[in-house]
Amino acid sequence: MKTGTATLPLHGGKAPAWLFSRMRLLAREITLAIVSEHGSEEVLRRLSDPVWFQAFGAVLGFDWHSSGVTTTVCGALKDGLRGLEHDCGLIVAGGKGAVSRKTPGEIEASAASGTLRADPRPLIYASKMAAKVDSSGLQDGYQIYHHSFFFTSGGKWAVIQQGMNDQNRKARRYHWLSDTVRDFVVEPHKAIASQASGTSILNMVARESLEAQHVVTQLSHEPPDRTINRLRRLKELSMPARHAVELRDIKPENLAKIFLSTYERQPENFEVLLGLPGVGPKTVRALTLIAELVYGTAASRTDPVLFSYAHGGKDGFPFPVDRALYDQNVEFLHQAIVQAKLGRTERLDALGRLARVHPPGRAAHRATDDHA
């Protein structure tokens, strides 16, 4: 499966209240229009496309090249669909910072309310594994700080999460779609939205890392003291420059408890190992380095790193947001959906013809440092 990337400059601040209130309404109406025409699963497919998502944010009037487009658009969708989940069959969980950690509880709550008709456990697992993969399985220098989980009442799901890199002052967005995930630890992403290269890449979820996954899993079965001793000996070596993964930030004694946990658990495969509590970037990095330097099993070091304006942008670029036009378009979409429910589909049909003339992503180009 081919993956793509998009990187955005890190911008502080937040959307002004007058804009966010409109973004929430327009995001709701656009989403309801898509659900009405194509069903809730189509929303997931579009959200998993980084080009469509970026265009969606631009249509909502947010900065075209700001990292905040991810958190703000996801937040607008979550707010806009609140209370309509049962009607549209689409639920949004998670968010930025501490809110992301509430995702499992929000999934369970949707099942308890009857909105989610499927077993919530696979969804909770998918949410946790997506976060684990992008923080530990793929180590590209971007620290995950946002995790939004979108799912249908039937159990299909999509993930949009974002990481930041303090060194290059950029953010990277990761897209997942349940329909394309065949294996959580082998090329699982629908796309990764970034142009700036990652740093000290360790890509344990690349297909080229399958052998390394096997060796790392076997290493986790060994007694902790043996693994710790190997790490100590490796730290005494003069490491060649070609090794992107360094040992200087790994303290073997601090990993002893985790190695004991993996030894007692004896994980069957790399996915189980990665999902164990406490197994994070340093554990994976240490075991991978032992696998490479002791057993000659190399992991991938490759970085798996693809607009338009309708209402202007928050900062006045390329032109200030036209509030009257924004409100008019929200009302147009709202009336189109209301009339469609009554059997009058002329307005939605017109939007469909426009989409066929200018399909999402047709005019997209590869991201640059200033484009998503």
Each residue's pLDDT tens digit, 58-89: 888 765 455 578 888 999 999 999 999 999 99
Return the SS3 of 282: helix
Model pLDDT, residue 2:
34
362 has a pLDDT exceeding 60: no
247-298 pLDDT per residue, tens: 566 777 778 899 999 999 999 999 999 999 999 998 999 999 899 888 889 8
Give the mean model confidence (pLDDT) for residues 121-144: 95
Model pLDDT, residue 221:
96
DSSP secondary structure string, 99-153?
A: GGGGHHHHHHHHHHHTS--S-HHHHHHHHHHHHHIIIIIEESS-EEEEEEEEEET
Give the mean model confidence (pLDDT) for residues 286-312: 75
**Is this prediction's pTM over 0.85?**
no
116 has a pLDDT exceeding 50: yes
Model pLDDT, residue 242:
38
Model pLDDT, residue 370:
29
Model pLDDT, residue 354:
45
Model pLDDT, residue 84:
95
45 has a pLDDT exceeding 70: yes
Return the bridge partners of 7, or none.
172
Model pLDDT, residue 231:
86
Q: How many Å is the Cα radius of gyration of the chain?
A: 22
Give the mean model confidence (pLDDT) for residues 312-336: 61
Of the two residues 358 and 30, the one the predictor is more confident about is 30
Which of 38, 43, 51, 21 is closest to 150 using CA atoms? 43
49 has a pLDDT exceeding 70: yes
Model pLDDT, residue 330:
65
309 has a pLDDT exceeding 50: no
Say how far apart CA 75 and CA 283 lie, in whole Å: 33
Query: pLDDT confidence of 119, banded at 50, 70, 90?
Result: very high
Of the two residues 208 and 368, the one the predictor is more confident about is 208
Model pLDDT, residue 252:
77
Name the token pair of 15: 């959307």
Query: pLDDT confidence of 177, banded at 50, 70, 90?
Result: very high
Q: State yes or no: cis peptide before 318, omega within 30 of 0.
A: yes
Name the token pair of 246: 């360094």
Query: pLDDT confidence of 1, banded at 50, 70, 90?
Result: very low
Percent of the chain with pLDDT over 90: 48
Say how far apart CA 70 and CA 165 lie, in whole Å: 15
Model pLDDT, residue 3:
36
The domain limits of the chain are 7-201+305-357, 208-295
Name every residue whose Cβ is closer than 8 Å to that of residue 242 and which is 6 or more positions away in sequence. none
104 has a pLDDT exceeding 50: yes
151 has a pLDDT exceeding 70: yes
121 has a pLDDT exceeding 60: yes
Say how far apart CA 242 and CA 288 lie, in whole Å: 15
Conformation bin of residue 131: beta by default, left when phi > 0, alpha when psi is -120 to 50: alpha
- The string over 84-100, giving b where at least 16 C-beta atoms fall within 10 Å of a residue's C-beta and e elsewhere, is ebeebbbbbbbbbeebb
Return the bridge partners of 175, or none.
160, 191
Say how far apart CA 341 and CA 33 lie, in whole Å: 11
Percent of the chain with pLDDT over 70: 71
- The one-character DSSP state at 372 is -
Query: pLDDT confidence of 346, banded at 50, 70, 90?
Result: low
Model pLDDT, residue 224:
93
Total residue length of the chain: 372
184-241 pLDDT per residue, tens: 999 998 878 665 566 578 999 999 999 999 999 999 999 999 999 888 887 665 444 4
Say how far apart CA 57 and CA 321 lie, in whole Å: 13
CB 184 within 8 A of CB 87: no
